[in-house]
Homo-oligomer: A and B are copies of this chain.
């Protein structure tokens, strides 16, 4: 935006920079970029106070495409840069853009610690379950059996769940979205932006080149309604055609299970009411097996906790500090 223009109402397009967007045609990143721009427009974010900080990877190119401040840093370390930024200027609205490799492989440590410290920022984790930019190697979220240039006979490792890891790191906001359900993603991002603390949003994103259709089993239009559950705080966990199915906890509390209300209406009593503050249920929601259960989308968990940056606000006031006095503290002598 030019320096003199002041549009009364910013539109999503006003958040687009002049740089050509350079992802593969058909990449899920485009839809997410649009959702981000729309979220900023919905909240009328001020471009001058918004900073997108990213690591390295396809997803991490996003800051170049925003008409805000942007910092494309190094692989895996975006949360550390964001921390420096926020403790220096807590007023800035900081968005961390990262991929599954960036945040959970090389950047795993910073991911844990930024959540633990509850820095007031948003983390959008574009999870395509693969390393896109480096041409398709398996990532920590790749499923066991994934065939890639480094796992020719199928990966033997177990994938990590971003949401589960975030919860154990002390996250105060954990949500999930998907590139094919932008209508639901925008309000989730909006809530993330408003949350005071670190907001983690894991976004399933299709990499058309190296991991095409990996989320098809729940994003395909024909199955979406049966395979996705959109969570709402205080509402029963219902999904499926006519909300005919619900989620309940199993008898030994080890997992969630589906109850079919169309077979027996009375099962409704077993259906859990989504309590956004319940960490146990949040764990179970983020652990659900995609092959047998729906995928939980929306805000899984949210609590309030002091933020790291709030501690720095008071300390950033003035340069009239009493350095001179401190230098003279302790033993001195005069000659």
Contacts and interface: CB of A to CB of B under 8 A. Distances in A.
A284 B170 CA distance: 14
A308 interface: yes
Most buried by B among A157, A275, A284: A157
Taken together, the copies of this chain in the complex come to 2
Interface residues of A, number: 40
Nearest to A164: B168
Contact of A253 (B106, B169, B281): B281
A116 B254 contact: no
Interface stretch (A107-115, A203-211, A289-297): A107-115
A97 interface: no
A279 interface: yes
Contact of A165 (B106, B118, B168, B252): B168
Interface in A164-182: 164-165, 167-170
Interface of A: 105-109, 112-113, 116-118, 140, 156-158, 160-161, 164-165, 167-170, 249, 252-255, 275, 277-281, 283-284, 287, 305-306, 308, 311
Given A116-B160, A279-B283, 5 more contacts: A108-B113, A112-B160, A160-B169, A254-B275, A283-B283
